Amino acid sequence: MTAETDAFLEVKNATRSYGGVKALDNCSIKISEGKITGLIGPNGSGKTTLFNAITGYESIEGGDVYFRGQSITGKTPEQIFALGIGRTFQLTKIFARMTVMENMFIATQRKEGWLRSVIRPAGSSEELDRAVEILKFVGLLKLAESPAGSLSYGQRKLLELAYILIADPTLLLLDEPAGGVNLSLIKELGDHIRYLNSLGKTFLIVEHNMDFVLTLCHEVNVMSSGSVFMTGKPEQVRSDPRVLDAYLGIDDFEEEIVVP
Amino acid sequence: MSLVNPTKSTKRIGLLLAVIVLVAFPLIFNNPTVTTIATYCVMYMAIATAWNSFSGFTGYVSLGHAIFFGTGAYTLSLISTGLNMSGGFPVFALVPVAGIAAGALAIPIGFVALRTKRHTFVVITIAAFFIFQLLAENLGFTKGSEGVTLAPGGFAASDYNNPFYYASAVILILTVFLVWHIKRSRFGLQLFAIRDEESRARSLGVKVDRVKLVSFVLSAIPVGMIGAIWAYFIGQIYPQFAFAASFDVTVALMCFFGGLGTLAGPVFGALVLEALQRYLVLSLTIQNLYLIIYGLLFLAVIVLLPEGVLPSIKKQISKRLLPTGADVSFNSPDSATSGIPQASAANKEPVKEGKAL
């Protein structure tokens, strides 16, 4: 963690357990503004639970989450989204029976009374322009009129990213953006993320594809058994023996048996 | 984008023709049997359109809209008898009052029922329906199972049905107009988003609870107004008919048959099924044969045309008319993307699109 930047997003000592399993165990993480931060760790190490805790999908039993210095602990997903934190899901959540373009208008935040919202057509011309621009950016414009349910797995991931971008979040949490995505397009996805980052967007990315994470991210956090045990530059993470241990060492199943 | 439809002028002509047919029908066919059937058809077209605007758009299947039909019927009946109104056109002035009563009642019912998940919602609406049927049977002011007899309309016998037909037609046109607006509005998109991924829609800032409740109430109002016209039309109402158990199943079938969630589907479904039912009752004089036919039809629709008749026809037409490969909307994504020229992005980096991700 670089000392010169204030924490943009910070999780302090978060704890969350399911039955006897501690999905988050005194977990702390700091994200710097304007950086691409990676979060890696073996399956079951608590990465998605941490995402859920940050974005309000799951409550935490102990600890706090701060965004831009304000506590966002216990806020609902919509409140957190309204603050400018957008996320994607490991299993994408798109609006399958609506067209790709219609998906783009769901997250637009327009202030208007319900009566106006019932009568006025969806999508102002500015919103439409913006949606077109974003769809062009992720390469889905040609499919704008197709039902979102007809998209392939990778395209759904792009659509999920696209419809979040319309609300212009400052922090994007991506849960396995490259998972299941065709190898040659992973690079392109990385380019998209770098470009958005160059526009000032901060990223936190959970990913299993080590090459992808280590080449893309400015810094990487490694989780194991519900907490972040190391943070460093990609090259430090790459050469740290503890990281290898976390992946290849004690299996979660064994650990559960060992811990009384 | 979809808001700009290339066949807009064709649609307008079709709509105009439909309105002309709707207005001219009783003037051309003045046989009372035919106009009776037509009046029921128009009533159910409006009801199905309204029901669809909530259940079809949100995916929350309501089997309790008979509550609003019955409430509308009783509102008009009780007020008109209470005021000793002597029939004629003034009674129709109570139709909007019945709509307001139904809408007002929908607020608490929706508030409670919509807190549940989809499947529970169905059960809650059925339960609420039976509560209201029982109330109508047992409360003093509804006159229980004796029912309420209204003052006769007093219209000329030769075209007695026409006032009821046109009153229903007005409600139908207003309802279709409202639902058309909803469908293309931001509110409509939010309803569809709730249908597809409710929790995700909520997290993207859609005020899910409010949107669902508003939609529920809006769908109840036309149903209440038609209930009122119906009560005046038949002249005497009883709890088991005003609050009929088969009401919502019938309306749901009309929507499923025509095309759930579409604008024309429920209108078409109601037209075909209501006409069929009335015809069967009149010609075969077997009262409940239609229920068996409805059951079989329901199965057939679910199995063979899960999207409904109109969307299936539309799909067939667009398949025939468009050369293979050009129809991106209905092909599988992989085949749809191949052959599409690559779009270059507005930003500095070129973005490829041709490959399936």
DSSP state of B329: T
pLDDT at position A187 is: 85
Question: What are the chain A neighbours of B179 within 8 Å (beta carbons)?
Answer: none
Q: Is the dihedral angle over the CA atoms A124, A129, A134, A136 positive or is it negative?
A: positive
pLDDT winner (highest mean) among A81-95, B279-293, B342-356: A81-95
pLDDT at position B323 is: 54
B336 touches chain A (CB under 8 A): yes
Containing A73, the helix (H) or strand (E) segment is none
pLDDT band per the 50, 70, 90 thresholds, residue B326 = very low
Q: Which of B141-145, B228-232, B299-303 has the lowest mean pLDDT?
A: B141-145
Asked whether the predicted pLDDT for residue B331 surpasses 80, the reply is no
Asked whether the predicted pLDDT for residue B180 surpasses 80, the reply is yes
pLDDT at position B322 is: 64
Give counts: helices (H), strands (E), chain A: 11, 10
* Facing residue for A146 by CB, picked from B329, B334, B342: B329
Q: Are B351 and A188 in contact (CB under 8 A)?
A: yes
Asked whether the predicted pLDDT for residue B315 surpasses 50, the reply is yes
d(CA A6, CA B242): 67
d(CA A25, CA B184): 48
Asked whether the predicted pLDDT for residue B337 surpasses 50, the reply is no
DSSP B147-191: -EEPPP----GGGTTHHHHHHHHHHHHHHHHHHHHHHHBHHHHHH
Determine whether the interchain pair A94/B197 forms a contact, defined as Cβ–Cβ distance below 8 Å. Answer: yes
**Mean confidence (pLDDT) of chain A:** 85
Question: What are the chain B neighbours of A184 within 8 Å (beta carbons)?
Answer: 355
Determine whether the interchain pair A101/B1 forms a contact, defined as Cβ–Cβ distance below 8 Å. Answer: yes
Asked whether the predicted pLDDT for residue B221 surpasses 90, the reply is yes
Backbone angles phi, psi at B334, to 5 degrees: -65, -45
If one compares B60 and B301, the residue with the highest pLDDT of the two is: B60
pLDDT band per the 50, 70, 90 thresholds, residue B228 = very high
Q: Which of B2-11, B15-24, B65-74, B171-180 has the lowest mean pLDDT?
A: B2-11
Beta-strand ranges (E) seen in B220-266 are 236-237
Backbone angles phi, psi at B101, to 5 degrees: -60, -45
pLDDT at position A111 is: 62
Q: Are B163 and B157 in contact (CB under 8 A)?
A: no
Asked whether the predicted pLDDT for residue B157 surpasses 50, the reply is yes
The neighbouring-strand residues paired with A10 are: A30, A66
pLDDT band per the 50, 70, 90 thresholds, residue B114 = very high
3-state secondary structure of B137: helix
Rama region for B62: left / alpha / beta (φ>0; ψ in -120 to 50; rest) = beta
B188 touches chain A (CB under 8 A): yes
Most A CBs within 10 Å, among B182, B204, B211, to test the A interface = B204
- Going from the C-alpha of A17 to that of each of A50, A99, A146, A244, B16, the distances in angstroms are 12, 39, 41, 25, 62
Determine whether the interchain pair B185/A57 forms a contact, defined as Cβ–Cβ distance below 8 Å. Answer: no
Average pLDDT over residues B274-285: 83
pLDDT band per the 50, 70, 90 thresholds, residue A3 = very low
pLDDT band per the 50, 70, 90 thresholds, residue B346 = very low
pLDDT at position B39 is: 96
Asked whether the predicted pLDDT for residue A253 surpasses 60, the reply is no
* Facing residue for B193 by CB, picked from A106, A120, A144: A106
**Mean confidence (pLDDT) of chain B:** 85
Most A CBs within 10 Å, among B3, B174, B203, B262, to test the A interface = B203
Tokens representing residue B99 in the block = 């709509």
pLDDT at position B230 is: 97
* Facing residue for B332 by CB, picked from A105, A118, A150: A150
Q: Which of B105-109, B160-164, B219-223 has the lowest mean pLDDT?
A: B160-164
C-alpha B224 chain-centroid distance: 12
pLDDT at position A122 is: 76
pLDDT band per the 50, 70, 90 thresholds, residue A246 = confident
pLDDT band per the 50, 70, 90 thresholds, residue A28 = very high
> What type of residue is B277?
Q
Kindly report the CATH number that applies to the domain delimited by A7-91+169-258: 3.40.50.300
Backbone angles phi, psi at A65, to 5 degrees: -125, 130
pLDDT at position B289 is: 77
Tokens representing residue A176 in the block = 């396995």
Question: What are the chain A neighbours of B337 within 8 Å (beta carbons)?
Answer: 142-143, 152, 155
CA angle A247, A248, A251 (to 5 degrees): 85
3-state secondary structure of A24: strand
* Facing residue for B357 by CB, picked from A94, A106, A158: A158
Residue B3, C-beta contacts closer than 8 angstroms, at least 6 positions apart: A121, A122, A123, B184
Query: B1: how many CB neighbours lie within 10 A of its CB?
Result: 17
The residues in B 292-331 lying below 8 A from A, measured between CB atoms, are 328-331
Name the percent of chain A lying above pLDDT 90: 46
pLDDT at position A258 is: 42
Q: Domains of chain B by range and CATH?
A: 10-320 (1.10.3470)
Average pLDDT over residues A107-132: 76
Question: What are the chain A neighbours of B59 within 8 Å (beta carbons)?
Answer: none
pLDDT band per the 50, 70, 90 thresholds, residue A124 = confident
d(CA B174, CA B46): 9
Q: Are A168 and B354 in contact (CB under 8 A)?
A: no
pLDDT band per the 50, 70, 90 thresholds, residue A110 = low
d(CA B43, CA B197): 33
pLDDT at position B4 is: 42
d(CA B257, CA B242): 24
The 10s digit of each residue's pLDDT in B233-248 is 999 999 989 999 889 9
3-state secondary structure of B21: helix
Asked whether the predicted pLDDT for residue B32 surpasses 80, the reply is yes
Name the percent of chain B lying above pLDDT 90: 58
The 10s digit of each residue's pLDDT in A153-184 is 888 989 999 999 988 899 999 999 888 788 87
Name the percent of chain B lying above pLDDT 70: 87
The 10s digit of each residue's pLDDT in A189-229 is 899 999 999 999 999 999 888 888 989 999 999 998 888 98
- Checking DSSP bridges between strand A85-87 and strand A171-175, what pairing results, if any? parallel
Which spans in B6-65 are helix H? Answer: 8-28, 32-51, 57-58
* Facing residue for B328 by CB, picked from A128, A145, A157: A145
If one compares B203 and B105, the residue with the highest pLDDT of the two is: B105
